[in-house]
Amino acid sequence: MFSQFALHERLLKAVAELKFVEPTPVQAAAIPLALQGRDLRVTAQTGSGKTAAFVLPMLNRLVDLKQKRVEIRALVLLPTRELAQQTLKEVERFSQFTFIKAGLITGGEDFKEQAAMLRKVPDVLIGTPGRLLEQLNAGNLHLEHVQVIVLDEADRMLDMGFAEDVERLCNECPNREQTMLFSATTGGAGLRDMIGKVLKTPEHLMLNSVSQLAEGTRQQIITADHNQHKEQIVQWLLQNETYDKAIIFTNTRVMADRIYGHLVAKDYKAFVLHGDKDQKDRKLAIERLKQGGAKILVATDVAARGLDVDGLDLVINFDMPRSGDEYVHRIGRTGRAGNEGLAVSLICHGDWNLMSSIERYLKQTFERRVIKEVKGTYSGPKKVKASGKAAGVKKKKTDKKGDKKVVAKRKPTAKPKPNAPLASSDGLAPLKRRKPAPAAE
Ligand code: AMP
């Protein structure tokens, strides 16, 4: 129960209003320590409820402030606009019975309007590092009274090349009393370096190791001969799978536009989201998907973070993501908060090695699925096929059975464990990370 936490009654009222009853594992682990003012480093999967895990203690710190609002007291840094917007909404929902005001600073929005908002001085400022620094450099942003900083999706901020910006922003807050860093993965040397620089003797909470991520999501691969064949498989999946909303990921804008074009031509209610789209289009796409005006989103990785859409239960990786972390973030769009989801990756000859390395990284073997109606000739490397069992490639008979089973009824391979104990080991196999990420798609 949330009442177990020493949270202000106005925040508990908001929690009740939002019908949060039981804290998720990350909330149960992080909130008490955060309320004590501890620096935290939290490794927790996307969709685990980590936003409330930092937002509630952060607001609790501010809720009783007697002084008139004159300074920014809390700063939340995130990698993408979408994630920042969603976090703003969470802050507003939780602070609805308080006088706390929050503001948002991200790229793609009007600079002067943001400056005007900053003149009114929000208590909590949420934003992406690049634009925050621009506002800082323009003399519009004053952070010296910030008490608490949250770095959310810190691994992703590093992947996007924001390390220096994040550090600079942290240095602009010399009087901060608490720093909390959240990441979906344990990250590499870059993350360790940042942790050493910005956190003071942090408590490390490991909520699910990477290999346990997305337990509520069934993960499958389907082999394909070429991109056109992949398109046929996508059509088949969209027609035959049971889903409320689906997202199709591609690695390039061109491919996203192409698939989108084919879907629209077939009368699917779809939207496309990538870096060429302006902020208005992006907001519209996300809103339409949330409200159900569109059922299918075709997107590059720009949408992989921060999307929290109810009923998003089918993820199709048209292209395999370029890193294990990206895979985790993509499929983190589904199976959220204990719901079931299905993630299908389409694998051509050129994708196989990447797919295998992601399997090793996650310490998982994806379910091999064959759909007889759209079966091609490629079925994985020959030597893997020969040693079938060890590599998890099933013989024809099993494929057929597997196919029937999948089409008839979807079941998660592992049940989500909402109260899973804290895991302490990571032991990740090395995998080249994409670094820095290519120009945002
Ligand atoms: P997050 O990982 O913070 O993006 O949260 C994922 C989704 O779970 C969001 O829609 C939250 O509103 C929801 N959520 C988070 N914590 C709880 C909770 N304790 N009870 C019910 N829903 C929750």
Q: Which of 1, 2, 15, 24 to mutate to test the pocket of ligand 1 (most atoms within 8 A of CB)?
A: 24
Cα of 422 vs centre of ligand 1, distance in Å, is: 18
Please report whether residue 398 resides in a domain. Answer: no
Domain shared by 58 and 108, yes or no: yes
Domain shared by 149 and 223, yes or no: no
Burial class (CB in 10 A: 0-12, 13-18, 19+), 299: buried
| Of the residues 190, 208, 226, the one at which a domain ends | 208
Closest ligand 1 atom to residue 50 Cα is 3
- Which phi and psi angles does 55 have, rounded to 5°? -65, -45
Cα of 52 vs centre of ligand 1, distance in Å, is: 7
Beta-carbon contacts of 432 under 8 Å, excluding residues fewer than 6 positions away, are 323
Question: Residue 203: what pLDDT?
Answer: 87
Closest ligand 1 atom to residue 86 Cα is 4
Closest ligand 1 atom to residue 52 Cα is 3
Domain shared by 254 and 163, yes or no: no
Cα of 156 vs centre of ligand 1, distance in Å, is: 20
Cβ atoms of 367 and 353 within 8 Å: the answer is: no
* Residue segments in the chain with a per-residue pLDDT below the cut of 50: 211-212, 384, 386-441
Cα of 288 vs centre of ligand 1, distance in Å, is: 21
Domain shared by 108 and 121, yes or no: yes
Q: 28: closest CA among 274, 205, 185, 156?
A: 205
Written as one letter, the residue type at 140 is: N
Domain shared by 163 and 190, yes or no: yes
Burial class (CB in 10 A: 0-12, 13-18, 19+), 35: middle
Cα of 48 vs centre of ligand 1, distance in Å, is: 7
User: What's the CATH code of the domain at 65?
Assistant: 3.40.50.300
Cα of 278 vs centre of ligand 1, distance in Å, is: 28
Domain shared by 175 and 224, yes or no: no
Question: Residue 19: what pLDDT?
Answer: 93
Residue with CA nearest ligand 1 atom 16: 49
Beta bridge partners of 125: 75, 103
Cα of 337 vs centre of ligand 1, distance in Å, is: 6
Beta-carbon contacts of 98 under 8 Å, excluding residues fewer than 6 positions away, are 8, 10, 11, 59, 62, 63
- Which phi and psi angles does 255 have, rounded to 5°? -70, -35
Domain shared by 166 and 41, yes or no: yes
Please report whether residue 410 resides in a domain. Answer: no
Burial class (CB in 10 A: 0-12, 13-18, 19+), 47: buried
Domain shared by 186 and 237, yes or no: no
Please report whether residue 420 resides in a domain. Answer: no
Closest ligand 1 atom to residue 46 Cα is 2
Domain shared by 199 and 53, yes or no: yes
Closest ligand 1 atom to residue 45 Cα is 2
Question: Residue 340: what pLDDT?
Answer: 72
| Of the residues 173, 208, 243, the one at which a domain ends | 208
Residue with CA nearest ligand 1 atom 13: 49
Residue with CA nearest ligand 1 atom 11: 49
The residues lining ligand 1, judged by C-beta closer than 6 Å to any ligand atom, are 20, 22-24, 27, 47-52, 308, 336-337
Residue with CA nearest ligand 1 atom 19: 23
Closest ligand 1 atom to residue 23 Cα is 19
**Domain range for residue 274?**
212-374
Cα of 148 vs centre of ligand 1, distance in Å, is: 22
Please report whether residue 76 resides in a domain. Answer: yes
Cα of 82 vs centre of ligand 1, distance in Å, is: 16
Domain shared by 221 and 192, yes or no: no
Question: Residue 339: what pLDDT?
Answer: 61
Q: Which of 15, 331, 336 to mutate to test the pocket of ligand 1 (most atoms within 8 A of CB)?
A: 336
Please report whether residue 426 resides in a domain. Answer: no
Residue with CA nearest ligand 1 atom 20: 20
Q: Which of 2, 11, 20 to mutate to test the pocket of ligand 1 (most atoms within 8 A of CB)?
A: 20
Number of compact structural domains in the chain: 2
Please report whether residue 395 resides in a domain. Answer: no
Q: Which of 94, 308, 310 to mutate to test the pocket of ligand 1 (most atoms within 8 A of CB)?
A: 308
| pTM for the structure as a whole | 0.59
Domain shared by 250 and 199, yes or no: no
Residue with CA nearest ligand 1 atom 12: 49
Please report whether residue 105 resides in a domain. Answer: yes
Q: Which of 12, 19, 51 to mutate to test the pocket of ligand 1 (most atoms within 8 A of CB)?
A: 51
Domain shared by 163 and 192, yes or no: yes
Give the ranges where 64-171 is alpha helix by DSSP (H).
Answer: 81-94, 111-119, 129-137, 154-159, 163-171
Using DSSP's 3-state secondary structure scheme, residue 367 falls into: strand
| Of the residues 374, 401, 426, the one at which a domain ends | 374
Please report whether residue 6 resides in a domain. Answer: yes
Question: Residue 332: what pLDDT?
Answer: 72
Question: Residue 336: what pLDDT?
Answer: 56
Cα of 49 vs centre of ligand 1, distance in Å, is: 4
